[in-house]
């Protein structure tokens, strides 16, 4: 079995270690052995990858993925989700607990990890539920979940409306030093809403969801965070007001981090068009001022990670009236192209884009990888930054097709994905071990 790989003459971008330039990278026995400005000699029997004109970067990590297993395997499974992940350049994903059998126990955590081992494609890090059954009434056994392998606690898909309960979980989670990941939505403000409250919702005659539904909950949880000294991670931030509060909280030294999804920094509420349910999600696509604020926050460091909120749904879930459509889109296979669009537009530098997809997520949740220092795991993504391609949802490796980006031309594509020194995706094809 091949144990060495030499990437030659790549542009290596490794934000954590301050590397951005032409380098050779030698991988041995699943770990980075050497990163050199001078050309390296390939060991005997090593695979040599001519990476001229390509980027070699730390493998991407997605903090927010819905794998749907157990319970909704018709939409996605751990296996199909991992296939989509590596096709998108992701070497690790954090699996949300809002499956139909909720991940609120060690038993479900172990099932997800077992399925990931069977898939043998990328790292899967389960997140455990904050409350039993995601009901918002009784805390799950955080110690049991973390002990079984959960890297965060979240009721994602649902907010924790009970402030006293939220305060307790922030306190409790400090014992295990794991972040509490929150879906910020005041249900009394969003009730009955189908999209962002604004001119488009008025034109379409749809009940809107005001930005305050998110911002008010962010404000509440930052107050609780300051009091408890816990760790808070705000999922899928969508509003200018949320960005402003998080930025100020960081300046005051609070342990708060956040993520933004590609669809929120790419599209605004006008993408709903004439009731396109593929543009229906939670939080909803916001106004153009919010999109501008999110982009600014990506640049200035307020945002720690780009995360897809990959949410697979079946065709019948979207082929309904807009109000009845289920929220969510798939995102693993389009994330790089949408992120690089900001690079090509001059919004982000290549280094910052790579940081948001790799080093940032690893740091936020304390995960392995995210850099290419000697001795680090050889989780590597090879990018062809100038390659143009057209999104074809029918060719996704994900089991679901719900995307508003079908037919969109992207510039920048994953050439190879390596996990633990093994090539699992190359030139559009999976390289599965079984």
User: Which positions make up the binding site?
Assistant: 64, 66-68, 98, 156, 183, 236, 309, 313
Structure tokens at 127: 């997140």
Q: How far apart, in whole angstroms, are the C-alpha atoms of residue 168 and residue 293?
A: 32
Burial 77-113 (b: 16+ CB within 10 A, else e): bbbbbbbbbbbbbbbbbbbbbbbeebbbbbebbebbb
Q: How far apart, in whole angstroms, are the C-alpha atoms of residue 256 and residue 229?
A: 10
Binding residues for substrate: 66-68, 98, 313
Q: What is the DSSP letter of 106?
A: H
Structural Rg of the chain based on CA atoms: 21
> E strands of 189-313, at which residues?
195-196, 208-209, 232-234, 256-260, 305-306
Map tokens 């972040």 to a residue.
179
Q: Check if 309 is active-site.
A: yes
State how beta strands 55-58 and 380-390 pair.
antiparallel
Binding residues for Zn(2+): 64, 66, 156, 183, 236, 309
Q: How far apart, in whole angstroms, are the C-alpha atoms of residue 35 and residue 25?
A: 5
Q: How far apart, in whole angstroms, are the C-alpha atoms of residue 151 and residue 233?
A: 12
| Bridge partner list, 131 | 139
Q: How far apart, in whole angstroms, are the C-alpha atoms of residue 152 and residue 133?
A: 16
Residue from 62, 155, 304, 309 carrying the catalytic annotation:
309
Residues known to be catalytic: 309
């Amino acid at each position: 079995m091949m144990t060495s790989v030499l990437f030659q003459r790549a542009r290596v971008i490794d934000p954590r270690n301050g590397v951005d330039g032409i380098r050779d990278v030698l991988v041995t026995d699943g770990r980075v052995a050497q990163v050199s400005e001078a050309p390296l000699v390939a060991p005997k029997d090593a695979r040599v990858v001519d990476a001229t004109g390509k980027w070699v970067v730390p493998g991407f990590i997605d903090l927010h993925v819905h794998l749907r297993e157990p319970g909704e395997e018709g939409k996605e499974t751990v296996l199909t989700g991992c296939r989509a992940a590596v096709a998108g350049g992701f070497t690790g994903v954090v699996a949300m607990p809002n499956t139909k059998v909720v991940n609120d126990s060690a038993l479900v955590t172990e099932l997800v990890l077992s399925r990931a081992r069977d898939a043998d494609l990328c790292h899967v890090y389960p997140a455990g539920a904050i409350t039993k059954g995601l009901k918002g009434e009784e805390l799950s056994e955080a110690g049991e979940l973390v002990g079984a392998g959960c890297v965060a606690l979240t009721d994602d898909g649902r907010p924790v409306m009970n402030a006293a309960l939220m305060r307790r979980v922030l306190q409790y989670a400090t014992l295990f030093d794991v972040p509490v990941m929150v879906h910020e939505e005041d249900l009394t403000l969003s009730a009955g809403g189908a999209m962002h409250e604004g001119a488009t919702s008025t034109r379409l005659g749809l009940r809107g969801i005001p930005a305050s539904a998110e911002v008010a909950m962010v404000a509440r949880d930052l107050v609780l965070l300051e009091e408890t000294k816990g760790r808070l991670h705000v999922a899928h931030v969508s509003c200018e007001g949320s960005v402003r509060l998080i930025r100020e909280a960081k300046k005051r030294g609070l342990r708060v981090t956040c993520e933004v999804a590609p669809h929120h920094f790419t599209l605004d509420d006008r993408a709903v068009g004439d009731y396109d349910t593929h543009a229906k999600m939670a939080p909803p696509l916001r106004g153009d001022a919010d999109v501008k604020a999110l982009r600014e926050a990506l640049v200035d460091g307020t945002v720690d990670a780009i995360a897809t909120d990959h949410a697979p749904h079946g065709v019948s879930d979207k082929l309904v009236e807009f109000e009845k459509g289920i929220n969510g889109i798939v995102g693993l296979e389009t994330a790089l192209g949408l992120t690089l669009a900001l690079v090509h537009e001059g919004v982000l530098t290549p280094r910052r884009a790579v940081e948001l997809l790799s080093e940032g997520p690893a740091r936020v949740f304390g995960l392995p990888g995210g850099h290419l220092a000697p001795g680090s795991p050889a989780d590597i993504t090879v990018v062809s930054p100038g390659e143009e391609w057209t999104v074809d949802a029918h060719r996704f490796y994900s089991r679901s097709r719900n995307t508003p980006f079908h037919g969109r031309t992207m510039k920048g594509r994953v050439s190879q994905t390596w996990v633990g020194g093994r090539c699992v995706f190359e030139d559009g094809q999976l390289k599965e071990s079984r």
